[in-house]
Amino acid sequence: MNTEIQGNKNLGYVAYEYLSVNVKKDLEPIYTDCYENLGWQNIFNPETDNMIIHRGVDILVNLKFKRDRKMKNRSMLLSFQKKCEGALSKISKLEKSKETGAMIGSFTTGIIGLGLITGAIFGFLADKTLLAIVLALPGCMSWAFAFPVYKKIRSNQEAKVASLIEEQYDLVYDVCEQARKLLA
pLDDT digits (tens, 9 = 90+) for 160-174: 999 999 999 999 999
What is the number of domains present in the chain? 2
Q: Which amino acid belongs to residue 127?
A: D
pLDDT confidence bin for 28, thresholds 50/70/90 = confident
For residue 67, report the phi and psi dihedrals to the nearest 5 degrees: -155, 160
Which pLDDT score, from 0 to 100, does residue 46 have?
57
Q: State how far the Cα of 175 lies from the Cα of 84, in Å rounded to an integer.
A: 7
Which pLDDT score, from 0 to 100, does residue 47 have?
61
Q: State how far the Cα of 72 lies from the Cα of 172, in Å rounded to an integer.
A: 21
> Does any domain span residue 8?
no
> Does any domain span residue 164?
yes
What is the domain range of residue 63?
Answer: 15-71
Same domain, 78 and 62: no
Q: Over pLDDT 70: what percentage of the chain?
A: 86
pLDDT digits (tens, 9 = 90+) for 92-133: 899 889 889 999 999 999 999 999 999 999 999 999 989 999
pLDDT confidence bin for 71, thresholds 50/70/90 = confident
Same domain, 113 and 184: yes
Same domain, 34 and 50: yes
> Does any domain span residue 2?
no
Same domain, 102 and 57: no
Contact (CB, 8 A) for 77 and 38? yes
The average confidence (pLDDT) of the chain is 86
Same domain, 155 and 128: yes
> Does any domain span residue 10?
no
The pTM of this model reads: 0.73
